[in-house]
Structure 1
Amino acid sequence: MGARSSGAFEVTAFEPEETDEEPGATLGRVRITKEFTGGLTGRSTVRMLSVLDGGGGPAAYVAVERFTGELDGRKGSFVLQHAAPGSSGERLAIRVVSGTGAGDLAGITGTFELTVDDEGRHTYTLEYELG
């Protein structure tokens, strides 16, 4: 990747929209809003589908997230795709969806790494190219 940007974000809203509870698993749909600081400055809206296992623990999720704001001084927007296949050590994958960049961020591609520390603070690193 050509450039790297990092910073933090805060979840400012977590709004469950639907829950389907059955024996063995709970399916959920939620809308999440985030505020970003650092290399990304702006806000995003996440649409997430999740699965909790029979014990109520996280099992898997998929999501799409639209970021709008600035990336290293460039104004625009793009969409991230999240996929967490399970809770058994599988790796969370988040990528910029090709073709979703707008404004100064048209043509963006890349990967997004998310970290949550022991106190619940969220940080990110975005490796990207603008083409």
Structure 2
Amino acid sequence: MGNRASGAFEVTAFEPEETDEQPGSAVGRVRITKEFTGGLTGASVVRMLSVLDGAGGPAAYVAVERFTGALDGRQGSFVLQHAAPGSHGERLAIRVVEGTGSGELAGITGVFALDVDGEGRHTYVLDYALNR
């Protein structure tokens, strides 16, 4: 990719919008907002669909997240696509959706990694390229 941005983010709102609970699973839709610091400075809105298993544990989720702000000083926005196929060791994949960059972030591609430590702090690393 060539470029790397890292930092932290805080979840500023978690707003459940719909839940469908049936025997064996629950499907939910939620809106999440975040504030970013570090290489990314700005805010995002996440629209997520998730599945809980029969025991109430996370089973899978998909989401789209629109970030608006600055990346290493360049202003604009882009969309991230999240996919977590399950809770049994499968890998979480988050990528920049090609063609969604705007402003000085037009042409962005990349891969986003996040981590939550034992105290609940969220950090990220974004490996990216700007293909103009």
Q: Same fold (TM over 0.5)?
A: yes
* Secondary structure of the corresponding residue to residue 4 of structure 2: strand
| Structure 2 counterpart of 1:121 | 121
Letter in 2 for 1:19: T
Q: Cα offset for 1:2?
A: 1.1
* Cα separation, 2, equivalents of 1:77 and 1:88: 33
Aligned pair 1:94/2:115, yes or no? Answer: no
* Cα separation, 1, equivalents of 2:76 and 2:115: 24
* Cα separation, 2, equivalents of 1:26 and 1:99: 33
* Secondary structure of the corresponding residue to residue 90 of structure 1: coil
Which structure 1 residue ranges, 5 or more long, are not aligned? none
Matches within 5 A, 1:75-114: 75-114=75-114
4+ residue runs of structure 1 moved beyond 2 angstroms?
Answer: none
Q: Cα offset for 1:50?
A: 0.1
Aligned pair 1:29/2:26, yes or no? Answer: no
Q: Cα offset for 1:16?
A: 0.1
* Cα separation, 2, equivalents of 1:74 and 1:116: 26
| Structure 1 counterpart of 2:72 | 72
| Structure 2 counterpart of 1:9 | 9
* Secondary structure of the corresponding residue to residue 86 of structure 2: coil
* Cα separation, 1, equivalents of 2:81 and 2:56: 24
| Structure 1 counterpart of 2:52 | 52
Q: Cα offset for 1:22?
A: 0.2
Which structure 2 residue ranges, 5 or more long, are not aligned? none
| Structure 2 counterpart of 1:43 | 43
Number of aligned residues: 131
* Cα separation, 2, equivalents of 1:23 and 1:118: 31
TM-score by length of 1: 1.00
- CA shift digits 1:9-50 (9 cap, x unpaired): 000000000000000000000000000000000000000000
Same amino acid, percent of matched pairs = 82
